Structure 1
Amino acid sequence: MENNQSLNRTLTLVPITLFGIAYMTPAVVFTTFGVLSETTRGLIVSAYLITIIAMLFTAYSYSQMIKAFPVAGSAYTYTRKAIGSHLGFMIGWVLLLDYVFLPMAICVLTAYTLSAAIPAIPFWLSVLIFIIPPMVINILGIKLATKLNFWLMMLQFLVIGIFIVLSVKRLMTGTGSFVSIAPLFTSHISLSFLFSGAAIAAYSFLGFDSISTLTEETIQPEKTIPKATYLAVLICGGIFVVVSYLAQLVHPSFHFKDVNSGGFEVIRMVGGDLFVSIFIAGLIVSSFASAVAAQASAARLLFVMGRDSVLPKKIFGYIHPKYKTPVFNLLIIGLVSLVALKLDVASSTSFINFGAFTAFGFVNISVIAHYFVKGNRRSPRDILFYLMIPLIGAAFNFWLWSNLDKHALILGSIWSALGIIHLLFITKFFRKQPPELGLGDSENFAS
């Protein structure tokens, strides 16, 4: 049965940028605050600043690869085209840890905070709220998802703005000042704690790369996607730094009643029960928007891998004849997200970061391979932009990768081993190339 296999170019800079921001979820700074504060011993802002630098180098490399290959597929496509099909498959496989399991992590982060705020809501119900409705919206189409996302993001920005105002007011009333270097530096600073915190903080930035999965649905993607990528990193990075700085000053200790809902304790301190209610509404909205974006991106990565037949095409390369959306992929992502019922915050985020850091590192390496090696771009300017900058980006990401906890490294390695086994099967033990679909061979998802 014939199946449409391409994407309509309808998206512009603002909805694409908001899509990336929604995926990153600015409000995630509250849900990870307790874990990050404890891990960094209160130096949460420094951890975020380290991560912002790393992500900007990687955002640059994404922008260069988008110009070279303006198609969906993200790091999977870039590595495959720039370096080789076998390695490309493995990067796509590892990237699945990020894209497919990120919706699950969103459920974990939000469900813990929501259950702490409203004990009457059981944890399992909180998880389902962020799986089923977003899945239905994505099945109905990308246009509906982006329109809804705009208004959800506006409400999220409003709640964050209220938190900033209330925090400043509390600090001015209590200490008389909201200026301090405590969240950035102390005399007993530990680099190991700081680097471990940066590795966890990177979870908050997962999503700017998801913008590249909408390349085939974007008008003038070579210009629009890079701009949106930089904007998403800078806007969210700024929010993370400001909010975490104020939160750490409001709650100077890095000890909490429950580290998984530490941010909720700060919110209650700042605004009392009234703001808790407002925040809960904002948290539901922001996490809902993030879940919609995360499911949409994951479904498109699976679609591209299915379209290329490196995953079973009848399932992963299928789109619904009426809604023109990857229905099977969305259902699979929903089922995987149910694992959220058994995970805590630290485990879910570090597991996903294994895939993200690996993919980010190889996007940087892909720039070197495509432009510097294959393209023979060797002028002094080219050496800076196509060798040094992506090399620094790759080093940052592999360094953060090395600071993941041992459980993430073990689980990630097991997942990678399964990918190698699958690759051996589809290539007849490397006797042939992984299957691939031509870049121009597609029909569009329509909404």
Structure 2
Amino acid sequence: MPTPQGIASPRLQRVLGVPSLLFFGLAYMVPLTVFSTYGIVTNETGGHLAGAYVITTVAMLFTALSYASIVRAEPTAGSAYAYAKKAFGPGVGFVTGWALMIDYALLPMINYMLLGLYINAQFPAIPAWVVILAAIIIVTALNLFGISVVKHANAFLVVFQLVFVATFLVAAFGKMQPDVAITDPFWSENATLGGLMAGASILALSFLGFDAVSAMAEEAKDPRRTVPRAVVLTVLVGGTMFMIISWAGQRVWPDFSTYTSLDTASLELISHLGGAFFEAFFLTAYLIGASASAMTSQAATARVLYSMGRDELLPKRVFGVLSPRFNAPRNAILVIAAISLLALVLPLDVVVSIISFGALAAFSMVNLAVIKHFIINQRKREPLELLRYGLLPGIGLALCVWLWFSLSLSALLIGIGWVLIGIVYLAFISRGFSQMPKTMAIRLDDVE
């Protein structure tokens, strides 16, 4: 889109195919994230972590199909915000983006915290705050150089984690308890549906990667084809990996009550499998995973802010511009880096408790957006269309709402408070909802 002076304005670069988008989604999800909540969710589910992952994966798969449907109609940056805006208008789109922003903005911070905590635990002479600051600077610099740099870094970071996963599974198969049935990690006589649902609601944050893939639609080649495939593949590959890892771990160490600490249960499991060397291998892979997640989450969050700024729902001069040199949303990236500095003062448990709220709220709105856009607005009501655009998103919505209300009361209250702040801000910028900000008309040649 040329400027009046005839100079091409900065644009997001279309460099991502299905493999790159899949690696981006997996890097965002972090294949080793299963170990972050391993002890906590194992305890919550009564030793049935793998079963909880089945529930979460099924719920996310229905929602991923909704993403795949609507991204073909709206292949732009902004993910859930863009889809809700298209179906319900800029007001609802803004509130959806605002809800999603809370977990997008906090996820990089969690990764910086984990990097600081783990490195400080292994090397006490290195203060956690030094690691956090260094990580923020390095990751921010990589994102400022543009999505091509992030793409190549993601491939290496994900492959390294997959090597560890393969090594873990080989070691686990040699130490599985013979008296533990193959199906016990999924369901046994001691399992309860309530316990599995409570665990599954916590695990929802592990699947933000497929929403992050949709946020990269304006940097994908042929986004109407590549993004839907990558979204579904991210859920299937990530969910399957989580289930296999947790299944193998629980067959090796079935009695979760014997862990010294639930917070460090994964380290105890790793040490049991391979001793100090294997534990060092795990820590290296885990820190690499946290770095990959920090990089991709910062990139995806910046593009949501860029999309909202471009639509004048956030200050356009700050968020709605791209770097002329690298075609990256520079200001949005720097804002996320500034927010991440709160990792120096906030406790980890406070940050973790509210991420799933925003994710499930956004996932629910995407399912609703598919029903509204295709069934109501476009009147697609043939039998197969009702199945694809009505029943499947309806199931996805019901599952997301079920998981949503399985969250802790504190997470619900904090999340609802954040949404109310967003509604008040929207009322202010729209003069009491009477004058919604203008939205950018996306030209056809920008999205094909």
- Same fold, TM-score > 0.5, yes or no: yes
Q: Displacement, 1:67?
A: 0.5
Q: Relative to 1, partners in 2 of residues 1:129 and 1:242: Cα closer, same or farther, differing over 3 Å?
A: farther
Q: Is the 8 A contact 1:7 1:217 kept in 2?
A: yes
Partner of 2:355: 352
In structure 2, what is the Cα distance between the partners aligned to 1:341 and 1:253? 36
Q: Is the 8 A contact 1:372 1:383 kept in 2?
A: yes
Partner of 1:277: 280
Q: Deviations over 1:170-220 (max 9, x none)?
A: 22xxx3477533322232323322111101111111111111111111111
Q: Does 1:385 align with 2:393?
A: no
Q: Displacement, 1:43?
A: 1.1
How many matched pairs? 441
Q: Is the 8 A contact 1:105 1:349 kept in 2?
A: yes
Q: Relative to 1, partners in 2 of residues 1:341 and 1:45: Cα closer, same or farther, differing over 3 Å?
A: farther
TM-score, normalisation: structure 1? 0.93
- Determine which of 123, 134, 138 is the counterpart of 1:133: 138
Q: Displacement, 1:4?
A: 3.9
Q: Relative to 1, partners in 2 of residues 1:346 and 1:421: Cα closer, same or farther, differing over 3 Å?
A: same
Q: Is the 8 A contact 2:109 2:342 kept in 1?
A: yes
In structure 1, what residue type is equivalent to 2:325?
A: K
Q: Relative to 1, partners in 2 of residues 1:109 and 1:44: Cα closer, same or farther, differing over 3 Å?
A: farther
Q: Relative to 1, partners in 2 of residues 1:299 and 1:106: Cα closer, same or farther, differing over 3 Å?
A: same
Partner of 1:195: 197
Partner of 2:367: 364
Structure 1 residues 231-250: aligned runs within 5 Å: 231-250=233-252
Partner of 2:422: 419
- Which of 285-294 and 47-56 deviates more? 285-294
- Determine which of 11, 14, 37 is the counterpart of 1:6: 11
- Which of 233-242 and 100-109 deviates more? 100-109
Partner of 1:23: 28
- Determine which of 86, 94, 106 is the counterpart of 1:89: 94
Q: Displacement, 1:130?
A: 3.9
Alpha-carbon RMSD: 2.2
Q: Deviations over 1:86-134 (max 9, x none)?
A: 1111001111012111111223445444444554544334434542211
Q: Secondary structure at the match of 2:13?
A: coil
In structure 1, what residue type is equivalent to 2:428?
A: F
Q: Relative to 1, partners in 2 of residues 1:331 and 1:101: Cα closer, same or farther, differing over 3 Å?
A: same
Structure 1 residues 323-362: aligned runs within 5 Å: 323-343=326-346, 346-362=349-365
Structure 1 residues 26-425: aligned runs within 5 Å: 26-171=31-176, 175-176=177-178, 179-255=181-257, 256-343=259-346, 346-425=349-428
- Which of 398-407 and 177-186 deviates more? 177-186
Unaligned segments of structure 1, at least 5 residues = none
Q: Displacement, 1:268?
A: 1.1
Q: Relative to 1, partners in 2 of residues 1:442 and 1:127: Cα closer, same or farther, differing over 3 Å?
A: farther
Q: Does 1:440 align with 2:440?
A: no
TM-score, normalisation: structure 2? 0.93
Q: Displacement, 1:383?
A: 1.4
Q: Secondary structure at the match of 2:328?
A: coil
Q: Displacement, 1:311?
A: 0.5
